[in-house]
């Protein structure tokens, strides 16, 4: 785990408004179990040396869709420094998703990420002038490409089809969980 990434403030985020009890209920709702934790750890090992290739694929996807790229652009032009800074944190997010304990520190950082997608903090971390918010619909819609595209990477290390499916299911649950948490600032108070 790296703390040398600009803007990566894991362990320094303010307390999340979602409680650990709420997190446990979300995990239950997602059928997220100890087996999923083990499978995420394995997925983290499998994906560790593939992170750049994963990010190349995801960035290619975003870059090929102007309606997504505009969130990292200024006056219609992609901000390459901003994209690069976010890419480093996105790579760390893969490791965090797989390897971190889903404790208060993790929960706090998920809320920080949520704020950085929302107008509450979008652009502040990197001091850029890009779209002031990532619209809610794309947070939710992005669950599919971030999940669907990972399976091929999970299958590259010779694990059985059953192990790949277990890692894939755990990844899907973890991505869904984080996106649900990232939706918090977009929901009216008392309705989350």
Residue 9 has, within 13 A of its CA and on its CB side, a CA count of 14
Question: What was the pLDDT predicted at 144?
Answer: 98
Helix runs in 48-123, H state only: 51-63, 66-69, 80-99, 104-117
pTM of the model: 0.96
Q: Is residue 160 part of a domain?
A: yes
Neighbours of 190 (CB within 10 A): 5
Q: What was the pLDDT predicted at 3?
A: 65
**Strand duo 73-74 + 77-78: pairing:** antiparallel
Looking at the structure of the chain, the number of domains it has is 1
Helix (H, G, I), strand (E, B) or coil at 136: helix
Report the pLDDT value the prediction gives residue 108, as an integer from 0 to 100. 98
84 close to 106: Cβ distance less than 8 angstroms: no
Alpha-carbon distance of 69 to 86, in angstroms, equals 13
Residue 6 lies in a domain: no
Has residue 2 been placed in a domain? no
CATH of the domain at 182: 1.10.490.10
* Cβ(167)–Cβ(154) below 8 Å: yes
How far is residue 166's CA from residue 158's CA, in Å, rounded to a whole number? 14
CA torsion sign for 88, 90, 92, 95 is negative
Mean pLDDT in each 10-residue stretch from start to end of the chain (192 residues)? 85 98 98 98 98 98 96 96 97 98 98 98 97 98 98 98 98 98 97 96
pLDDT confidence of residue 121: 98
In a domain, 172, yes or no: yes
Rounded Cα distance between 156 and 124, Å, is: 37
Secondary structure element (H or E) that encloses residue 147, with its range: helix 143-148
* Domain contains 10: no
Assign 17 to helix, strand or coil: coil
Report the C-alpha gap between 136 and 148 in whole angstroms.
20
**Confidence (pLDDT) at 20:** 98
Report the pLDDT value the prediction gives residue 122, as an integer from 0 to 100: 98
Return the pLDDT at 127.
Answer: 97
Identify the pLDDT of residue 21.
98
Is residue 191 in a domain?
Answer: no
- Domain extent for 103: 20-186
Question: Is residue 104 one of the residues assigned to a domain?
Answer: yes
- Of residues 117, 179, 121, 119, the one with CA closest to residue 146: 179
Structural domain includes residue 153: yes
């Amino acid at each position: 785990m790296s703390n040398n990434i600009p803007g990566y403030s894991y362990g320094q985020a303010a307390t999340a408004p979602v409680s650990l009890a709420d997190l446990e209920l979300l995990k239950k709702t997602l059928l997220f179990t100890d087996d999923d934790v083990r499978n995420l750890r394995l997925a983290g090992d499998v994906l560790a040396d593939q992170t750049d290739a994963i990010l190349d694929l995801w960035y290619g996807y975003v870059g090929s869709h102007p309606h997504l790229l505009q969130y990292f652009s200024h006056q219609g032009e992609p901000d390459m420094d901003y994209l690069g800074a976010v890419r480093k944190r996105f790579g760390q997010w893969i490791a965090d998703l797989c390897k971190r304990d889903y404790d208060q520190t993790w929960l706090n950082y998920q809320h920080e990420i949520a704020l950085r997608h929302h107008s509450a903090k979008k652009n502040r971390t990197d001091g850029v002038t890009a779209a002031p918010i990532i619209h809610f619909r794309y947070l939710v819609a992005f669950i599919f490409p971030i999940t669907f595209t990972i399976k091929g990477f999970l299958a590259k290390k010779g694990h059985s089809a059953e192990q790949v499916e277990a890692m894939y299911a755990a990844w899907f649950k973890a991505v869904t969980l984080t996106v649900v948490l990232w939706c918090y600032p977009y929901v009216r108070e008392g309705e989350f």
